[in-house]
Chains A and B, each alone.
Chain A
Amino acid sequence: MKIVPHASTDTLTLALDGELDASSSVSLDTELTKPDVLDYRKVMIDCQRLNYISSAGLGVFISHLQRFQDAGVKLVFFNMQDKVHNVFEILGLDSLMTIVPTQQEATAV
């Protein structure tokens, strides 16, 4: 799992590359736990190269969502592959999280 961060004035974009499972999701959790993440207005997750997600990966996002909301930080997913989106759908997480098709739409959220 590779995480490539890109920061602009008010937005942090994290491009995920690889597979998020019970082994690799620890590094994502560390990244999202950093206190300065809450200084941004928005955190965009680029899922184009995210080939797999298990409950451990979902759990990382679930566990930070409220903390982000309380700090006024929007969490937006974009470029998600169908098979990964399907995993969010199975649990109904697609209606609890903001997932949009393109980077352009993520920027507009």
Chain B
Amino acid sequence: MQHTIRVSCSRSNLKTVRDFVAGVLQEHQLSDILQNQIILAVDEIVANLIIHSNHEDEHKHLDIRVEIADHEFRFEAEDDGQSFSPTEYRDPDLQEHIRIGKKGGVGIALVNRIMDHVEYTTVGTRNFCRLSKRLP
């Protein structure tokens, strides 16, 4: 069964999305650590879409779809903001981040390490981000 939620592009909705995902995961009795990892990966993607792709414009929305099927967690976010280009992405050097006091730039590294599959596609003006992870 697919679960959907639509949120406006405000940081205050990050908690709403985390609670939504937690609700979907609840009945699957995952460990605390695994459940937190999945919620974290979704939170990182949604934060990037709200802050970077849509510049926190509350008139804009994200459509989020989540399902668990065939022992797999699947997430999709759809928006019409600025598309993300994974080819420009470089894995962060944390010691360098510490040295220069850099605040951001580790979210996508978390997503890539947690999820089995991360995909960004653009169809016309619509961007789709899809994540999936096998469950025990």
Chain A interface residues toward B at CB < 8 A: 19, 21-23, 29, 52, 54-56, 58-60, 62-67, 82-84, 86-87, 90-93, 96
Report the count of interface residues on B (CB-CB < 8 A). 34
B33 within 8 A of A: yes
CA of A43 to CA of B106, assembled, Å: 23
Q: Are B98 and A66 in contact (CB under 8 A)?
A: yes
The stretch of B9-17, B72-80, B116-124 that contacts the partner chain: B9-17
Q: Are A83 and B36 in contact (CB under 8 A)?
A: yes
Known contacts A22-B14, A83-B36, A87-B40: A96-B101 contact under CB 8 Å: no
CA of A58 to CA of B47, assembled, Å: 14
Q: Which residues of B contact A82 (CB under 8 A)?
A: 32-33
Q: Are A66 and B99 in contact (CB under 8 A)?
A: yes
**Number of residue pairs A-B, CB distance < 8 angstroms:** 95
Chain B interface residues toward A at CB < 8 A: 11-12, 14-15, 18, 32-33, 35-37, 39-40, 43-44, 47, 50-51, 94-95, 97-107, 109-110, 113-114
Q: Are A90 and B44 in contact (CB under 8 A)?
A: no
CA of A96 to CA of B15, assembled, Å: 28
Task: Give which listed residue, B32, B47, B103, B113, contacts A54 with CB less than 8 A.
Answer: B47
